[in-house]
Structure 1
Amino acid sequence: MENVFKDAIIPLASLMNGQRQDISEHVYGLQVQIVNVYFVRNRNTDDWVLIDAGMPRSDRAIIKHAAEIFGPNHSPKAIILTHGHFDHVGSITDLITYWDVPVYAHEQELDYLTGKASYPKGDAEVEGGLVSSLSPLFPNHGINLDNHVHPLPDDHSVPFLDDWEWIATPGHTDGHISLFRELDRTIIVGDAFCTVKQESLYNVITQKHEISGPPKYFTTDWEKAEKSVQKLRELEPHFACPGHGLPIHGEKLTADLQHLTAHFEKIAKPEHGKFVD
């Protein structure tokens, strides 16, 4: 299992880099450079899982904060991936080596996680800002996790998290998923939608709040992406944990999701690009 990102240096970081947030009961978020990972404890046991694996070279920060939250030498039971883009699996091989835990993802992501396929390169044609222009330079190759990675259960349960379920939210990638806990209506949405305009370098650095769809430069199916956002809005969530941007809750979340679904074509979908035309 080779660390294909060991030489990857992505010189982007927000003002929230390294900051942790308590979001809802037993859910904690950590921003590593420009993306969020989430630590989720099982409400009925002392087990916990990590959602996504951050940017390349962020393993030390993730391990440090995990120890602060759960205590030293308390490994997660698993790592759950919302999808396999580089900023969500950048430190996965180092984390697996350190913790020796299984990884779970949607079956349609497995080719990208077993070295059989690579994602399309980022689309610099989409409008929005400098990050879009730089996106073709971002890593797009698949990684090979060998027998460490497994498909998520067909019954939509989440391994080691009794009161969570996974929900298919394709569009950004074919096998993109979100996670939902009905008890307090918390959703972890990966890149199904963002709370920052991810295409704009200024917005990414300042983390200026702006409800947005999935990152335009990597999203391959806009019809599915729109349906996925509608599905998440219909869950009537109270807490939302995005992959990009700050977590949001309550009336602001409700209003933002209503606005996004009502104006998805204008807010989220680019006017042109290789995945639009």
Structure 2
Amino acid sequence: MDQDMNYGEDYKFIPATSISSGAGMQLLPDVYCHTIQIVNIALVGEQEHFVLVDAGMPHSSDGIINIVEERFGDNAKPETIVLTHGHFDHVGAIIELVEHWDIPVYAHRLEIPYLTGRQRYPEPDSTVEGGMVAKMSPFFPNEPINLGDHVQPLPNDGTVPFMDGFNWVHTPGHTPGHVSFFRDEDGALIVGDAFVTVKQENLFDVMTQDKEISGPPRYLTTDWKAAKESVRKLSQLHPTIAVTGHGAPMVGEELTNNLNKLVREFDQIAKPDHGKYVDPDVH
């Protein structure tokens, strides 16, 4: 492993999975979604020119490499990895992938400190209501990883390297530098964790992947005012298909209706009733 790249000391395999683990779905000719245990990665593009969005769970690099080669051929590699954010379940295999493919990583500039060893995320809030996953959250890796000079900030003009037609949308709340990726041409939206389609706090729902729109995972969200605004911002884009970081994709009228409902009822659906990052005076 490169000396300038390392995971935090709390990096470890997380024994959590779902019935969707190992399953993939072709959503558009150039957008493919695949579930790694409890989180989704996306491949955007075709054949020799494609991008990996997010990097799965800890110790999932071999599986991700196999997914890429099954789709694009032996020794295929993406042009780059772009990150929605830097939580452990979205960067779990990133160092091994960067070393294997020798490719750059892009993330929002506000996320760079968490990806270069300079700053750790706030501690998960296990006191939020919702279920067993929230209670387990203090055991999740939370120390910053260090990608050194392998990670670069996304361009200021909103474009996404090697993802023609897509723009990044700053959607903070879950993390300061969280981004989603949107293509105006066909309404394709890669959400990350700005909103998800499973109650991520509830272990049964995570395991069964019972589809239900929700806000960002409660136990790792620290700014609920920003999170609410991010959902509103995404709804105004009128996406036709949404690949979320957790849960099954939503499309068409189902997506429109559920996203509009989430905007209207965000405080009831998404925001915890209590917790150390919840401000009862913010609505």
Question: Normalising to structure 1: TM-score of the pair?
Answer: 0.97
Question: Counterparts in 2 of 1:1-150, with a 5 A limit?
Answer: 1-4=5-8, 8-41=12-45, 46-150=48-152
Which whole-Å CA distance do the structure 2 matches of 1:11 and 1:239 have between them? 30
- The question of whether the paired residues in 1 share the 8 Å contact of 2:7 and 2:144 is answered with no
User: What does residue range 187-202 of structure 1 map to in structure 2 within 5 Å?
Assistant: 187-202=189-204
Gaps of 5+ in 1: none
1:95 Cα deviation from its structure 2 partner:
0.5
Mapping for residues 149-168 of structure 1, pairs under 5 Å: 149-168=151-170
Report the secondary structure of 1:147's partner residue: helix
Aligned 8 A contact 1:36 1:244 in 2: yes
| d(CA) in 2 for partners of 1:172, 1:5 | 23
Q: What amino acid maps onto 1:125 in structure 2?
A: T
Give secondary structure in 1 for the equivalent of 2:268: helix
Question: Once the 2 structures are TM-superposed, how far is the Cα of residue 25 of structure 1 from its aligned partner?
Answer: 2.4
Could you give the per-residue CA deviations for residues 77-107 of structure 1, whole angstroms, max 9, x where no partner exists?
A: 1000000000000100010011010000000
Cα distance between partner residues in 2 of 1:107 and 1:168: 10
Q: Which amino acid aligns with 2:74?
A: P
Which consecutive unaligned segments of at least 5 residues does structure 2 have?
Answer: none
Matched residues in 2 for 1:187 and 1:80: separation?
A: 14
CA distance in structure 1 between the aligned counterparts of 2:221 and 2:163, rounded to whole angstroms: 29
Report the equivalent of 1:173.
Answer: 175
Offset of residue 4 of structure 1: 3.9
Partners of 2:266 and 2:92 lie apart in 1 by 29
Distance 1:6 1:126, change over 3 A: closer
Give the CA deviation at 1:7: 5.6
Q: Which residue identity does 1:54 align to in structure 2?
A: G
Q: Give the secondary-structure state (helix, strand or coil) at the position aligned to 1:188.
A: strand
**Closer, same or farther: CA 176–273 of 1 in aligned 2, 3 Å:** same
Task: Assess if the C-alpha contact under 8 Å between 2:10 and 2:141 holds in 1.
Answer: no
Greater mean alpha carbon deviation, residues 152-161 or residues 6-15: 6-15
C-alpha separation in 1, matches of 2:230 and 2:146: 28
Structure 2 contact 272–278 (Cα < 8 Å) conserved: yes
Distance 2:20 2:230 in 1: 27
d(CA) in 2 for partners of 1:6 and 1:265? 33
Equivalent residue pairs, number: 275
Aligned to 2:228: 226
Match among 199, 215, 218 for residue 216 of structure 1: 218
* Alpha-carbon displacement from aligned partner over 1:181-207 (angstroms, at most 9, x marks no partner): 111100001000000000000000000
What is the Cα deviation at residue 6 of structure 1?
A: 9.0
Q: Distance in 2 between matches of 1:37 and 1:229?
A: 20
Distance 1:2 1:110 in 2: 14
> What is the aligned-residue RMSD (CA, Å)?
1.2
Indicate conservation of the 8 Å contact 2:48/2:78, yes or no. no
Q: C-alpha offsets along residues 49-92 of structure 1, whole Å, 9 cap, x if unaligned?
A: 10000100111111111111111112111000000000000100
In structure 2, give the amino acid aligned to 1:86.
F
TM-score by length of 2: 0.95
Q: Is the 8 A contact 2:11 2:141 kept in 1?
A: no
- Give the structure 1 partner of residue 278 of structure 2: 276
Describe the SS at the equivalent of 2:89: helix
